[in-house]
């Protein structure tokens, strides 16, 4: 089976969809050649304009896969498709194509799949459903999103496939020799852009209250979107925590050490379809304080601490900092939340789509 994969974001965007494309490609290329589940021949398509921020070596064995690079705007990719140069033809022919972007390369003549990890904005449900209808199968990382696709958008249950979330990449990098950075204080970490519902300012104010009460802590806001968060940056600059709070954009290579050297990840959100961020931290033994979202509970029940809306956030952070790590549950998560497991499950779906 020849598998086409959109890997444009893999090297141009470190977190989110970039990490998914990068780790999935790597895991597929490194699958053992099992006669019962033969490893597909991976072919990578990189269509789009963007400067790489990561070296190709981060793709592991996938760096050696047949790759077609077209550094052109998306509209020119659409023009190529109108001339018959669709994604599968650009790659010299594939049996199935996996998209990692909702509006990725145009594919017409072979089955294509897509992983739904984010929901649409309110009021966009009909357009979202139309966008998803062109895929022959959908992947999800939580039962909750499977149910939403069926009950809210009307998709057939047998067209939606639950696959494990991969969360072992930072553990792999640490084992390769990157040691965690020790901290004398309790380090509280917040990962990701300051989107609505993530409560960055409320977390800062809660940590300020705890520090004023005598708790020795540090607070790190780590995001690739530092420049666009002017209000939060100004609030951090004027914080009573002083140098104990940072709002910065770490490099991808710095994240394993940063996360593993933290005591607590605070990850609040309104809606997410995957528990990848807290799972990444949990497999490193880091405590997590999370919104009680269904996707988070499915993966991290018995491991994470939960923040109920209306609860005193400072008290919740203090409680989570003191909570013991459930090592037995963490070991189960570490065994299950792997990119190898994700690739295995994905390959089984693709093989069922190919005649």
- Cβ atoms of 190 and 277 within 8 Å: the answer is no
Q: Residue 232: its pLDDT value, please?
A: 83
Q: Residue 180: its pLDDT value, please?
A: 52
Report d(CA 162, CA 67) in Å as an integer.
Answer: 28
Same domain, 73 and 141: yes
Q: Please give the structure tokens belonging to residue 262.
A: 């933290």
Q: Residue 255: its pLDDT value, please?
A: 92
- Helix then strand count (H, E) for the chain reads 15, 13
**Contacts of residue 156, Cβ cutoff 8 Å, sequence gap at least 6:** 150
Same domain, 319 and 257: yes
Q: Residue 169: its pLDDT value, please?
A: 94
Q: Residue 228: its pLDDT value, please?
A: 56
Same domain, 120 and 242: no
Same domain, 330 and 342: no
- DSSP of 17-78: HHHHHHHHHHHHHTS--BTTBPPPEEEEEEES-----S-GGGGGGGGGSEEEEE---HHHHH
* φ, ψ for residue 164, nearest 5 deg: -65, 150
3-state secondary structure of 159: helix
Same domain, 155 and 14: yes
How many separate domains does the chain show? 2
Same domain, 347 and 331: no
Q: Residue 173: its pLDDT value, please?
A: 87
Same domain, 126 and 268: no
CATH number of residue 111's parent domain: 3.40.50.2000
In order along the chain (355 residues), what is the average pLDDT of each group of 10 residues?
Answer: 97 94 97 90 95 94 96 88 93 97 94 97 96 98 98 97 96 70 74 89 96 95 73 87 91 91 95 95 95 97 94 97 94 96 97 92
Same domain, 99 and 176: no
Q: Which domain holds residue 93?
A: 2-164+338-353
Report d(CA 291, CA 221) in Å as an integer.
Answer: 17
Same domain, 74 and 127: yes
Same domain, 16 and 133: yes
26: left (phi over 0), alpha (psi -120 to 50) or beta: alpha
Same domain, 99 and 133: yes
pTM: 0.93
Same domain, 81 and 148: yes
Q: Residue 207: its pLDDT value, please?
A: 97
């Amino acid at each position: 089976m020849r598998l086409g994969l959109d890997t444009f974001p893999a090297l141009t965007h470190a977190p989110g969809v970039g990490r998914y494309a990068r780790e999935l490609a790597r895991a597929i290329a490194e699958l053992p050649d099992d006669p019962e589940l033969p490893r597909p021949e991976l072919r990578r398509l990189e269509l789009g304009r963007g400067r790489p921020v990561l070296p190709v070596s981060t793709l592991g064995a996938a760096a050696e896969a047949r790759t077609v690079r077209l550094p052109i705007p998306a509209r020119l990719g659409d023009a190529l498709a109108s001339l018959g140069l669709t994604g599968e033809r650009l790659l010299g022919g594939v049996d199935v194509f996996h998209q990692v972007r909702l509006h990725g390369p145009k594919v017409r003549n072979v089955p294509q799949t897509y992983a739904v990890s984010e929901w649409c904005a309110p009021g966009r449900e009909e357009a979202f459903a139309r966008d998803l209808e062109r895929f022959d199968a959908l992947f999800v990382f939580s039962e909750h999103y499977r149910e939403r696709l069926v009950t809210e958008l009307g998709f057939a249950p047998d067209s939606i496939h639950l696959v494990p979330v991969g969360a072992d990449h930072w553990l792999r990098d640490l084992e390769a020799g990157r040691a965690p950075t020790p901290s004398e204080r309790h380090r509280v970490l917040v990962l990701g852009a300051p989107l609505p519902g993530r409560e960055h300012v409320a977390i800062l104010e809660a940590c300020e209250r705890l520090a004023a009460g005598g708790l020795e802590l540090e607070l790190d806001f780590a995001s690739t979107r530092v420049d666009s968060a002017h209000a939060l940056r100004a609030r951090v600059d004027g914080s009573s925590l002083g140098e104990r709070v940072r709002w910065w954009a770490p490099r991808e290579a710095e994240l394993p050490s940063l996360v593993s050297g933290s005591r607590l990840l605070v990850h609040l959100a309104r809606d997410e379809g995957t528990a990848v961020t807290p799972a990444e931290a949990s497999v490193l033994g880091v405590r997590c304080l999370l919104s009680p979202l269904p996707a988070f509970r499915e993966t991290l029940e018995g491991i994470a601490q939960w923040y109920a809306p209306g609860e005193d956030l400072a008290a919740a952070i203090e409680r989570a900092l003191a909570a013991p790590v459930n090592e037995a549950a963490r070991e189960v998560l570490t065994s299950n939340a792997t990119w190898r497991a994700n690739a295995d499950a994905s390959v089984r779906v693709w093989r069922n789509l190919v005649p």
